[in-house]
């Protein structure tokens, strides 16, 4: 594994503790084997832990030099005899649980080497309220009547607008801008996130486009993580809401009045037009666009590079342009391919 310059190498840990952290069953191997670190399956050496859940990497697994492997029961027979086997239902999830124990610093977008407390080079309005344990790095600006909860870190050059409320144990990344927003606990906003700017609203006409004032807010609930350079417009006449536990990738655009439910996942470059609604546990692949005022039902999944023009029922699996049920989409793609092949034979 490449020398971990930015993250300290973990201390050796016994395999029995890895089993416990992973929620796994030790199928083969000695529980007192020492694990020294983690590695990709193809680069692992003695003392390393790996995981396997994709048959595309079967050749690399066969020749791995790892000491132990997290694997689903159906793939146990593919692990070399000299490698300890930790059987788990979801190897990738178990891998994440183990990494969180070995590299706790990597779990939050902050750097423990940076300043603690409030930097003298930060600008904080006297009316702002900061609870004990808040960290404010150099160059940050905190506006009038803002309130920030204990344990929250405001990174360098970030701007927190007037009357913004931020909960406890949050991290607001460098160069972020937060205005007209109410943020819950344990929220992570990565570098360059912009939350609460006015939405794109104009009354268009032949005499020019008249700007419509945007007077709503952004509400971000607990345990949300939002990737770098994502933008969240405040509501026009109601709130833009992001539900608890939702995870949003980099460079996502969320328009005004959008309501995102709990535990949704939005991959990079998704665009949500104004006033659309995502119910709980919706997952949307990268570079997908959703038209305004559309509702996507609970648990629906939208494939990458799709366009959603109409409501999607709960549990639906859709894809394409315009988005349609995936089985129909695959049939259409196959039919077009066959037509193209016939044309090339003519």
Cα 246 to the center of its chain, rounded Å: 8
| Candidate list 75, 180, 190, 256, residue with the active-site label | 256
Structure tokens given for 343: 């044309």
- Backbone phi and psi for residue 342, each to the nearest 5 degrees, phi listed first: -65, -40
Burial class (CB in 10 A: 0-12, 13-18, 19+), 209: exposed
Q: How many whole angstroms separate alpha carbon 324 and alpha carbon 146?
A: 45
Q: State the Rg of the chain over Cα.
A: 24
Q: Which residues pair with 232 in a beta bridge?
A: 195, 254
The bridge status of strand 277-278 relative to strand 295-296 is: parallel
Residue 256 annotated among the catalytic residues of the structure = yes
Determine the Cα angle at 341 with ends 335 and 342, to 5°: 90
Catalytic center residues: 256
């Amino acid at each position: 594994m490449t020398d971990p310059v930015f993250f300290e190498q973990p201390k050796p840990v016994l395999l029995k503790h890895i089993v416990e952290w992973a929620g796994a069953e030790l199928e083969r191997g000695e529980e007192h084997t020492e694990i020294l670190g983690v590695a990709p399956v193809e680069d692992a050496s003695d003392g390393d832990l790996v995981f396997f859940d994709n048959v595309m990497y079967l050749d690399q697994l066969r020749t791995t030099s790892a000491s132990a492997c997290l694997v689903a029961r159906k793939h146990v027979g593919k692990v070399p005899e000299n490698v300890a086997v930790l059987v788990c239902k979801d190897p990738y999830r178990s891998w994440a649980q183990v990494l969180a124990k070995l590299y706790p610093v990597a779990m939050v977008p902050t750097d423990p080497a940076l300043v603690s407390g409030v930097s003298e080079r930060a600008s904080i309005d006297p009316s702002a309220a900061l609870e004990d344990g808040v960290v404010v790095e150099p160059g940050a600006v905190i506006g009038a009547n803002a309130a920030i909860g204990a344990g929250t870190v405001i990174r360098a050059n970030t701007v927190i607008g007037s009357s913004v409320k931020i909960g406890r144990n949050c991290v607001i990344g460098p160069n972020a801008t937060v205005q007209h927003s109410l943020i819950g606990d344990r929220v992570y906003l990565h570098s360059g996130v912009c939350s609460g700017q006015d939405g794109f609203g104009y009354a268009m006409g032949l005499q020019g486009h008249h700007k419509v004032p945007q007077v709503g807010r952004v509400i971000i609930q607990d345990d949300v993580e939002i990737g770098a350079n994502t933008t969240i417009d405040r509501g026009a006449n109601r709130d833009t809401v992001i539900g608890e536990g939702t995870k949003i990738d980099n460079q996502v655009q969320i328009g005004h009045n959008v309501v995102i439910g709990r535990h949704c996942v939005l991959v990079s470059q998704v665009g949500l037009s104004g006033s659309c609604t995502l119910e709980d546990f919706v997952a949307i692949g990268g570079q997908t666009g959703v038209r305004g005022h559309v509702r996507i039902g609970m648990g629906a999944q939208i494939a990458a590079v799709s366009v959603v023009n109409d409501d999607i029922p709960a549990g639906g699996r859709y894809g394409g342009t315009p988005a349609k049920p995936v089985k129909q989409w695959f049939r259409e793609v196959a039919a077009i391919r066959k037509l193209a092949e016939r044309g090339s034979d003519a």
